Amino acid sequence: MQVKGLAEKMQGYQEEGEELLEFNKELQWTLMMIKKDNDTLRDNLEYLMAGGDPKKIEDEQLTKLIGSSPEKFKTPQVDNVFDVHSEF
């Protein structure tokens, strides 16, 4: 009887340990992503503080997100109809 009870306890501890290992992996992945984002933000801030062009950073981020040139997805320039046809 005692052996069976110990075996059940060991099984329970093993399951808890596996859950903790999985949680640990997820936590490590999350921390790595946070560090990556932090490094990117730090680099961008240093670039901007040195007088860099914020538009360049925006275009690079858009290119990473959409996988191609952001120029394809920009809204075309539309003339203001009121200004074109107004006599004022």
- Going from N- to C-terminal start, the domains of the chain cover 2-85
For residue range 2-60, what is the model confidence (pLDDT) as tens digits?
A: 777 777 888 888 888 899 999 999 999 999 999 999 999 999 999 999 999 988 888 88
The DSSP line for 18-40 is HHHHHHHHHHHHHHHHHHHHHHH
- pTM for the model stands at 0.55
**What pLDDT is attached to residue 88?**
62
Q: What angle do CA 32, 50, 65 make, to 5 degrees?
A: 45
Residues, the chain: 88
The residue whose two tokens read 């110990």 is 6
